[in-house]
Amino acid sequence: MKINTFKRHFREGTKNLVRNSWMTVAAVGAVTTTLVLVAAFLMLMLNLNQIADNIESDADIRVFIDLSAEEDDIDELGQNIGELNRVEEFYFSSKDEELEALVEDLGEDGEAWELFEQDNPLNDVYVVETYEAEDLAGVASTIEGFSNVDDVDYGSETVDRLLQFNQYARYIGITFIAALLLTAIFLISNTIKMTITARRDEIGIMRLVGAKNSFIRWPFFVEGMLTGVIGSVIPIALVLGGYHFLYINLNDRLNFQFIELLPWNPFAWQLSLMLLAIGAFIGIWGSVMSVRKFLKV
């Protein structure tokens, strides 16, 4: 496309926005409302994902070895575990190491456990990590069947429930976002359709004198994109400001090691960029959709 033509399309697109100022306000409003809601959902969903990821990557299987097991038995069990193909890695932790870790974990309360150093009641343990958190249950039950295994623990209930919750949250979130976006596209397309009727003559004449459809479509493309971009300004400001506020006020209070919000930078910026792209996309789509029916030859 020639530079002059491009300038013309841009000029026409902006002119139409200004000329139909009330319609522009309506369309921009639709984008803004949608994006604010989408932003809220995305913030929630992406943080939930992050939390779930943390838990998933922390999750492992603890295989408690029979107290009666000999060293050879322990080695054999280790070999068997190593042969399972969904196991990413595993290591052996002796009962002494286990006690040490427990004492450390419990801090001051742990001092009481130091008494047991002479007569350690804990088991030797294999700690097994799988590639996917979803594999934990399967691998755990296989290992349970091996000999010399006293017990297997992978925090089954908590992990299962969290994974499930996260799965549902994801589906619901995606459905909601899709519905919101479709509504916005519909609103924009209707708004622009109203302004198009006024431009019908112009489109008719353009076609009559031999303008290509792509040429006719371009100003609408520009108009839709600008609508979307302008509509994303307020949501982006809210994300940048609001998430900062949330992060500062919430993160310190959530003092669990595995629940940690995504850091403001770069998350807020990434989300803003995403909103900008979504805004432009629904603007363009809505606009191009509404012009389509005037272009049939």
Partner 1 sequence: MIEMNNVYKVYDNGVTALNGVKTTIDNGEFVYVVGPSGAGKSSFIKMMYREEVPSKGHVKINHVDIGDMKDKQVPYLRRSIGVIFQDFKLLPKLTVYENVAFALEVIEENPRKIRRRVMDVLDKVGLKHKARFIPAQLSGGEQQRVAIARAIVNNPKVVIADEPTGNLDPDTSWEIMRIFEEVNATGTTVIMATHSKDIVNKIRRRVIAMENGQIVRDEHRGEYGYED
- Regarding 254 and contact with partner 1 (CB under 8 A), the answer is no
Per DSSP, what are the bridge partners of residue 89?
129
| Closer by beta carbon to partner 1, 106 or else 205 | 205
Q: How far is the CB of 259 from partner 1 (least distance, A)?
A: 57
Residue 205 or 277 with smaller CB distance to partner 1: 205
Cα–Cα dist 188/284, whole Å: 9
* Nearer to partner 1 among residue 103 and residue 295 (C-beta): 295
Long-range contacts of 209-218 (CB under 8 A, 24+ apart): 213/295, 213/297, 215/5, 216/291, 216/295, 217/288, 217/291, 217/295, 218/9, 218/12, 218/13
Half-sphere exposure of 71 (CA within 13 A, CB side): 0
Give the interface segment with partner 1, choosing from 44-52, 55-63, 208-216, 228-236 (CB under 8 A): 208-216
Size of the site for partner 1 (CB under 8 A): 19
> Which strand ranges, in their side-by-side order, compose the sheet holding 87-93?
87-93, 125-130, 61-65, 149-153
The reply to whether 293 sits near partner 1 by the rule CB under 8 A is: no
Hey, is 148 helix, strand or coil? Answer: coil
What 3-state DSSP class applies to 62?
A: strand
Crossing angle of helices 21-58/156-208, nearest 10°? Answer: 150
- Calpha distance 160→47 (Å, rounded): 18
Residues 212-231 that bind partner 1 (CB under 8 A): 212-213, 215-216
Return the number of the residue (125 or 203) whose C-beta is nearest partner 1: 203
Residues 186-205 that bind partner 1 (CB under 8 A): 201-202, 204-205
Q: How far is the CB of 220 from partner 1 (least distance, A)?
A: 14
C-alpha to C-alpha distance for 235 and 30, rounded to whole angstroms: 12
Question: What distance lies between CA 101 and its chain's CA centroid?
Answer: 34
209 binds partner 1 (CB under 8 A): yes
Rule CB under 8 A: choose which of 95, 170, 193, 207 binds partner 1.
Answer: 207
- In the complex with partner 1, the residue whose CB is nearer, 115 or 208, is 208
Q: Does 208 bind partner 1 (CB under 8 A)?
A: yes
Q: Pick the binder of partner 1 from 4, 85, 118, 255 (CB under 8 A).
A: 4
- Residue 145 or 210: which CB sits closer to partner 1? 210
- Asked if residue 145 binds partner 1 (CB under 8 A), the reply is no
Compare residues 161 and 212 and give the one whose CB is closer to partner 1: 212
DSSP 74-123: HHHHHHHHHH-TTEEEEEEE-HHHHHHHHHHHHGGGGGGGGGGGGS--PP
Instruction: Give the shortest CB-1-to-partner 1 separation in angstroms.
Output: 8
Return residues touching partner 1 (CB under 8 A): 2, 4-5, 8, 201-202, 204-213, 215-216, 297
